[in-house]
């Protein structure tokens, strides 16, 4: 599945999908992300998140959140815009790749709890385009909240989830 029809931010400096996959393979699949560097300047042109649980649906949700927060004048939370997302078959599973803007900054640590809580509150405030659970534009609900990461029921709304969890 490729991302060409999802309205992601265009970045003409990105390498090919094959080159991105080769780069991630070289970095190693024990990590979940790596910078993509410009071949001549060695400057970071993008960040790529990759792994077996990474999906194009996740990329669409991320890009929706990035656009929503960017259009909020007082937002101090930055979410990277997505340039491209795709999947590739691997002998053991399918590997997903999300190529996104690189936002320079320091990693969070335990001293940043209050800032992280504010960021989470800001993200919770982003209104989804529909009340259906799951990713923007569709896709299965996948979360560690569920046994084996996948729900056993087809929840149509948060209310359905709430009712099912109390019965």
Cα distance between residue 17 and residue 36, in whole Å: 12
Mean pLDDT of the chain: 85
pLDDT tens for residues 4-14? 568 899 999 99
The answer to whether residues 136 and 118 belong to one domain is: no
Same domain assignment for residues 18 and 95:
yes
> Are residues 90 and 167 located together in one domain of the fold?
no
Q: Rounded mean pLDDT of 59-75?
A: 89
pLDDT confidence bin for 37, thresholds 50/70/90: very high
100 lies in the same domain as 154: no
pLDDT per position as a tens digit, 114-143: 989 988 888 888 887 777 766 777 766 766
For position 1, what pLDDT does the model report?
46
Total-model pTM:
0.82
| Cα gap 100→85, rounded to integer Å | 9
96, 159: one domain: no
Average pLDDT over residues 141-166: 68
Residue numbers of the domain that contains 135: 128-167
C-alpha distance from residue 154 to each of 112, 129, 161, 164 (Å): 36, 19, 9, 10
């Amino acid at each position: 599945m490729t991302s060409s029809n999802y309205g992601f931010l265009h970045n003409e400096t990105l390498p090919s999908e094959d080159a991105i996959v080769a780069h991630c393979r070289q970095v190693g699949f024990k990590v979940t992300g790596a910078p993509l560097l410009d071949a001549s300047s060695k400057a970071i042109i993008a960040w790529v998140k990759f792994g077996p649980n990474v999906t194009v649906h996740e990329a669409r949700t991320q890009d929706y959140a990035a656009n929503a927060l960017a259009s909020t004048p007082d937002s101090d939370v930055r979410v990277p815009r997505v340039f491209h997302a795709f999947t590739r078959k691997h002998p053991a599973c399918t590997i997903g790749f999300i190529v996104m803007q690189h936002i320079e900054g320091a990693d969070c640590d335990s001293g940043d709890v209050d800032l992280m809580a504010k960021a989470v509150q800001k993200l919770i405030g982003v209104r989804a385009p529909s009340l259906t659970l799951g990713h923007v534009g569709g896709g299965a609900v996948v979360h560690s909240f569920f046994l084996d990461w996948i729900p056993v029921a087809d929840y149509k709304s948060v209310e359905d989830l709430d009712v099912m969890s109390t019965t």
